[in-house]
Amino acid sequence: MSKPTLHIPAVPARPGEAPDFSYVHLAPAGAALRPDPRVPVRETVELADSLIRVLDEEGKARGAWDPKLEPSVLLAGLQNMVLTRVFDDRMQRTQRQGRITFYVRSYGEEAVSVAAAAALAETDMLFPSYRNQGLFLARGVSLVDLMCQLLSNTRDMCKGRQLPVMYHSAEKRVFSISGNLATQYPQAVGWAMAAAIKGESQLAAAWIGEGSTAAADFHHALTFAKVYKAPVILNVVNNQWAISTFQGYAGGEQRSFAARGPGVGIAGLRVDGNDFLAVYAATQWAAERARSGEGATLIELVTYRAGAHSTSDDPSRYRPREEFGEWPLGDPVQRLKQHLIQIGTWSEAQHEALLATVEEQVATAWKQAMAFGTLNEGEKLDPKLMFSDVYKEMPAHLQLQCAQMESGI
Amino acid sequence: MSVTSTMNMVQALNSAMDVMLERHASVVVLGEDVGYFGGVFRVTDGLQKKYGAHRVLDTPIAEGGIIGAAIGMGVNGLRPVAEIQFADYIYPAYDQIVSELARLRYRSAAAFTAPLTIRTPCGGGIRGGQTHSQSPEGVFAHVSGIKTVMPSNPYDAKGLLIAAIEDDDPVIFFEPKRLYNGPFDGDPDKPAQSWLGHPMAEVPQGYYRVEIGKASVAREGSAVTMVSYGTMVHVCIAAAEAEGVDAEVIDVRSMMPLDMDTIAQSVEKTGRCLIAHEATRFAGFGAELSASIQERCFWSLEAPIERVAGWDTPYPHAFEWQYFPGKQRVQRGLRQLLNIEG
């Protein structure tokens, strides 16, 4: 008789080994059926285990999930993805130069944020993780505002209190990012419950990484979303890696993350996260479902974290350097560009021109942001700001400590 | 045991786990990124390679799960050493620690126990903002049924961690991350120091223990007693030297159990006491220290006890050095205590 042994999830390739993505369950573009968004949950079981793809190898849009977007929408999407990437690259270099203390790129997973933002209404509320800068950019938060937050300078929206990348925008309806994982998930459900209580049609959308699905807050969110049929879209960005921990350690072996949706009783979709059209279409489907009162959808966006976890991390210690080049779902920017060229609204030359324009836009914004100071140079935030906003009114003991700080240092 | 090497705190902690994994088949290490990668601060580097993936486990990102599972392992005969990647991320495990781990022995009349060690990097000074800088030792020292430890140097770190792993009661082991690679006197403008040449960085390669519940005298003196732990021990010594005060610096090392005898002896000798910690002041561990010292040493005190602590705000990113209770704030506390103008 065999005995139980502890199963250790297998990591497909470590440094020095050839990348191996044979574990990624693929499906051809256009193969997935698109049911009416009001279908019962059980009719999404297959979609939660499949892979919704629209763009094929040649950049043609295929199948029932093609959202048939106007070229202007596609172009705006491409511009925002390029902007996100150029912004990320520039800020990463800035961190290396010591001007900001920390940075997180979204390299390789830009479509996840940009396509979703395009598919949602501007009044819908977004609850991002720290790798969703594309949401802020697609919603039109200014580059200078984001950069000033990174610099903790005199125009920092967080008044110097937060790590870089922990942005927010009440005006554009993007919630304050927390450094703690998955906390925004049940909060998004609560926001959506409030919309339902108030009889309003806005919905909430939230994003977490696949690693964070292990956190209890993920399960709290799904349960509350199911119980109250909350108008919420719960996105799991499966970028394969949580720092050094492979997605198998979050339970990704054998069964998709999307399948947990129907498991709990909400709809589930597994989507090619590097396919702008597929992400747009899935978000649109889930939004229609939520707005029609059929409740939440769990969307797994299959993508790849092409960069490091953050500027504090060196991924060459735990995975092969060549992995991104071998990633079967490619590069989201390249794929949308190829599609636009394929349909005759874009060219290599136009793309080069776009890149140059965006580089210039980011460089100009950086100069403007730097004029408000950096952590170490130029004008500084008043340290007294440390004591405000702890409470609405500053209590006596904080007033005293603030005075002590001013007199002492 | 007598062979020593120079170790930084990361190496000393690694060595403690290495020694214990080697000595006891029941010891297991678990946590986020601790296995193949060796931990985000490299504290578990090489342990999985040496002892295998069944004894050094990478876990899902779920602190409540890590501690809940570690309790189950402990109940079933193992001695788990669980890492919470940053003390700032310990709160999802709060219920498992406070309602379960701390009370299991008590509620089951010792029928069930879980000898856990929870290692977690704490404290500021690394520009980590509010999610990588907190000092929650007071929150846990307040809970009956767990021990709370924080070393300030490599020698103590290894000896205390071995003692924690051997302890039949659960221990929360706070590692001041700013001290991992070198002592820190609170001055951010000075180049980072290494442990090289520091007497407490000479660490035996093999097994030894530093008893939990014993404070140490980090610097002898007669004019004033400075009571502290973790990074602030180094800040206190630097402040005393900068101020030219003949201070005795007590390194508490363990908040619970607390070595009041060593502290009281010193305060009775000097008649003056300053307490320093990075954590927020209000209801911080310094409040317990201050109350206990006042109760034991009231008739020896020549001045009110002085507390120097983090301001009562969340840990701010841009204002780290105005927030951190550095050398100047401690010096000011000393002047106040000694009634010196300026």
Per-residue pLDDT tens over the stretch A34-64: 999 999 999 999 999 999 999 999 999 999 9
Rounded CA separation B33/B52 (Å): 14
Quickly count: other Cβ atoms within 10 Å of residue B69's Cβ. Answer: 18
Nearest CB partner across the interface for A375, out of B60, B314, B318: B318
Give the distance, in angstroms, between the CA of residue A97 and the centroid of all CA atoms in the same chain.
26
Contact criterion met (CB < 8 Å) for A408 and B332: yes
Q: Which residue carries 């979050």 as its tokens?
A: A250
**Could you give the strand order of the β-sheet that contains B171-176, starting from the edge strand earlier in sequence?**
B56-58, B27-31, B79-83, B117-122, B171-176, B147-149, B254-256
Q: Among candidates B148, B61, B149, B144, which has minimal Cα distance to B99?
A: B144
A2: left (phi over 0), alpha (psi -120 to 50) or beta: beta
Which tokens sit at B71?
Answer: 């309790």
Q: Among candidates A298, A275, A303, A272, which has minimal Cα distance to A44?
A: A298
Q: Which residues of B are catalytic?
A: 132
Q: Which residue carries 């649109």 as its tokens?
A: A284
For residues B276 and B223, the answer to whether their CB atoms sit within 8 Å is: no
Chain A residue closest in CA terms to B62? A215
Nearest CB partner across the interface for B58, out of A101, A180, A245: A245
Write down the pLDDT at residue A2. Answer: 87
- Judge whether residue A408 has pLDDT over 90: no
Q: Among candidates A365, A239, A251, A237, which has minimal Cα distance to A306?
A: A239
Chain A residue closest in CA terms to B68? A216
Averaged pLDDT, B25-53: 97
Q: Which residue carries 């720290």 as its tokens?
A: A130
Nearest CB partner across the interface for A386, out of B54, B88, B323: B323
Which tokens sit at A382?
Answer: 């008043």
**pLDDT tens profile A224-256:** 999 999 999 999 999 999 999 999 999 999 999
DSSP state of B204: E
Quickly count: other Cβ atoms within 10 Å of residue A190's Cβ. Answer: 17
Chain B residues contacting A via beta carbons under 8 Å? 32-33, 36-37, 40, 53-54, 57-65, 88-89, 91-92, 127-132, 281-282, 311-314, 316-319, 322-323, 328-329, 332
Tell me the shortest Cα–Cα distance from B255 to chain A, in angstroms.
Answer: 25
Chain A residue closest in CA terms to B39? A244
Write down the pLDDT at residue A11. Answer: 93
Contact criterion met (CB < 8 Å) for B60 and A251: yes
Write down the pLDDT at residue A139. Answer: 98
Write down the pLDDT at residue B342. Answer: 55
What is the overall mean pLDDT for chain B?
96
**pLDDT tens profile B84-99:** 999 999 999 999 999 9
For residues A115 and A276, the answer to whether their CB atoms sit within 8 Å is: yes
**pLDDT tens profile B262-310:** 999 999 999 999 999 999 999 999 999 999 999 999 999 999 999 999 9
- Angle separating helix axes A332-342 and A71-96, nearest 10 degrees: 150
For residues A16 and A323, the answer to whether their CB atoms sit within 8 Å is: no
Rounded CA separation B109/A256 (Å): 44
Residues on chain B touching A379 (C-beta within 8 angstroms)? none
Rounded CA separation A62/B213 (Å): 69
For residues A59 and A93, the answer to whether their CB atoms sit within 8 Å is: no
CB neighbour list of residue A354: distance below 8 Å, 6 or more residues apart = A78, A79, A82
**pLDDT tens profile B2-34:** 799 999 999 999 999 999 999 999 999 999 999
- Judge whether residue A409 has pLDDT over 70: no
Write down the pLDDT at residue A406. Answer: 92
Contact criterion met (CB < 8 Å) for B37 and A243: yes
Which tokens sit at B301?
Answer: 């005190």
**Angle made by CA atoms B169, B294, A394, in degrees to the nearest 5:** 90
ipTM: 0.89
Contact criterion met (CB < 8 Å) for A8 and B53: yes
Rounded CA separation A345/A336 (Å): 11
**pLDDT tens profile A347-392:** 999 999 999 999 999 999 999 999 999 888 899 999 999 999 999 9
Rounded CA separation A346/A351 (Å): 7
**pLDDT tens profile B149-201:** 999 999 999 999 999 999 999 999 999 999 999 999 999 999 999 999 999 99
Tell me the shortest Cα–Cα distance from B276 to chain A, in angstroms.
Answer: 15
Chain A residue closest in CA terms to B333? A408
Tell me the shortest Cα–Cα distance from A271 to chain B, in angstroms.
Answer: 23
Nearest CB partner across the interface for B64, out of A179, A211, A216: A216
Residues on chain A touching B313 (C-beta within 8 angstroms)? 386-387, 390, 398
Write down the pLDDT at residue B209. Answer: 98
CB neighbour list of residue A10: distance below 8 Å, 6 or more residues apart = A248, A253
Long-range Cβ contact pairs of B202-205 (< 8 A, separation 24 or more): B202/B4, B202/B5, B202/B6, B202/B155, B203/B4, B203/B5, B203/B6, B203/B7, B203/B11, B203/B12, B203/B15, B203/B154, B203/B155, B203/B158, B204/B1, B204/B2, B204/B3, B204/B4, B204/B158, B205/B1, B205/B3, B205/B4, B205/B5, B205/B15
- Measured CA distances, A132 to A175, A244, A400, B93 (Å): 11, 20, 39, 27
Write down the pLDDT at residue B1. Answer: 52
**Could you give the strand order of the β-sheet that contains A125-127, starting from the edge strand earlier in sequence?**
A125-127, A204-209, A232-238, A297-302, A267-272
**Angle made by CA atoms A121, A218, A309, in degrees to the nearest 5:** 85
Pairing assessment for the beta strands B273-280 and B306-310 based on DSSP bridges: parallel
- Judge whether residue B340 has pLDDT over 90: no
pTM of the predicted model as reported, rounded to 2 decimal places = 0.94
Residues on chain A touching B89 (C-beta within 8 angstroms)? 180-181
Interface test with A, best of B96, B313, B332, B341 (most A CBs within 10 A): B313
Write down the pLDDT at residue A358. Answer: 98
Nearest CB partner across the interface for A244, out of B33, B328, B329: B33
For residues A179 and B131, the answer to whether their CB atoms sit within 8 Å is: yes
Interface test with A, best of B49, B315, B319 (most A CBs within 10 A): B319
- Judge whether residue B341 has pLDDT over 80: no
For residues B113 and B168, the answer to whether their CB atoms sit within 8 Å is: yes
Beta bridge partners of residue A236, listed in sequence order: A208, A300
Averaged pLDDT, B136-146: 97
* Helix H or strand E encompassing A80: helix A71-96
Helix/strand number for chain A, H first, E second: 13, 7
Residues on chain B touching A151 (C-beta within 8 angstroms)? none
Rounded CA separation A379/A383 (Å): 12
For residues A203 and A228, the answer to whether their CB atoms sit within 8 Å is: no
